Chain A
């Protein structure tokens, strides 16, 4: 079994609101520590990024990364909550994990999250869309 406790101890106060379930660990990370924490998961623990999920929550816009330890089936899910709903911004982890490029571009066009330092900050799904998509796609539906 993976040593989840040692991971939590190692991260210290960089992670908060930890929720443990069988083979699942959800925790909150401030945007300024996201590169450090995801870098540790990817480079040191050898986890693979499955994908990421953006969601609108009461507090703002949430981005939840899903890192899988394929040897044990353990999931580590760092959660980043941006309270500025009009202009949610956080650092991109694509410079660390190449596999995050597409999903961060997708979250940008669906939820309006700006990923700073993203190597290719272009639209993924609606690059050649004939309409002027001035709002994130999910919020166009609600308006």
Chain B
């Protein structure tokens, strides 16, 4: 912590102890109040766009699958949408349901992962253990469908790579029923807990105006009253064939972002069940044979758990893209920290930055650094966050 007059600077990073992608935040605080935040990225730039332009279209799909371990269906799905957009390629009905099923399963496991980490950050380790326990059957479902728990390799231009085994569909439906019961329990627990509400309501508010100005996407913007969801606005996959709702809330705080994700998980379970029932009856091919891609440009996107994944591909008629642009949702959601963190207390910085789900891994604390003098200052953001929850719990329950 650097002490300069009345404001102090708390550096978090450059190898961020919390986030999966190494990022560096300089949080300027006045007392315990955050007055400014400077975000520095680029610590693990891997050059995926350039790498993709050296590969064939089919190889690019495998490459973009490895951009993110959690969104390992969203990127390839947006990529094949972009390639299909160049030639307006139709995909078979059965493949549309399989794509939707895999995409929604990914949303469920990603939201459960976030829910667990959010609980851990604010001192609700029971929520963490529940969420991660009930995420496990989803990973088992992926293994049944694709053979892999992660990086499923399901997407192809013109359809999907593997069919869902009809004998396994009853097992998958049983898994979904089990998850549905557990999600109801978690939703009720989150809704009924006064400490959770007191801890998260009004924290890290992203106003509707800021969400629009920063072009935020996904649950981050939907919790601020922006009803944008790619699954509704584009007629791709099977979303237009299924009755489901976009979850939109108004307050923009961390609690609304949590509720949006919980309710979206419930919607996703509903969509998965419909897809599985349809796969019992809808027969036919799963892949159209696409021989070549014409010269042209295409835009593909998919509503990943964190928001819109955007891919732009330009083809010159050869078997590889001459330009492949990738924009992940965190690229537009992370700049909103400038709006949500200012004015918040340092104890809320952790859960506020975590609330946009910016690809994080769990960890303990921020850097331990020396100031310009000889004093060593420890700033443990995780502990600060958990202490605040304890104080609220003591005020409400007296324990």
The residues of A with any CB-CB pair to B shorter than 8 Å are: 21-24, 26, 48-51, 53, 55, 64, 66, 68-73, 75, 77, 97-103, 123-129, 138, 141
Contacts and interface: CB of A to CB of B under 8 A. Distances in A.
Contacts of B228: 48, 70
Nearest to B221: A48
Contact of A102 (B88, B299, B314, B331): B331
A101 B42 contact: no
Given A23-B234, A50-B310, A124-B41, A55 B323 contact: yes
A103 B40 CA distance: 14
Given A22-B88, A53-B325, A125-B45, A99 B215 contact: yes
A68 B88 CA distance: 19
Interface residues on B, range: 20 to 34
Contact of A73 (B42, B212, B216, B233): B233
B237 interface: no
The 7 closest A-B pairs by CB, nearest first: A99-B215, A125-B42, A70-B228, A73-B233, A51-B327, A53-B325, A98-B213
Contacts of A73: 230, 233-235
A100 B213 CA distance: 9
Contacts of B50: 138, 141
A55 B314 contact: yes
Contact of A53 (B45, B235, B312): B312
A25 B54 CA distance: 28
A26 B296 CA distance: 11
A49 B299 contact: no
18 contacts: A22-B88, A48-B217, A48-B228, A50-B301, A51-B310, A51-B327, A51-B331, A64-B312, A66-B299, A73-B230, A97-B215, A98-B215, A99-B216, A103-B331, A125-B42, A125-B45, A128-B14, A141-B50
A71 B227 CA distance: 9
Interface in B287-338: 297, 299, 301, 308, 310, 312, 314, 323, 325, 327, 331-332, 335
B383 interface: no
Contact of A51 (B214, B227, B325): B325
Contacts of A138: 50
Contacts of B299: 24, 66, 75, 77
Contacts of B30: none
Contacts of B227: 70
Given A66-B299, A101-B335, A53 B42 contact: no
A24 B86 CA distance: 11
B241 to A, nearest CB: 16
Contacts of A72: 233
B250 interface: no
B213 A99 contact: yes
B85 interface: yes
A66 B213 contact: no
Nearest to B234: A73
A69 to B, nearest CB: 8
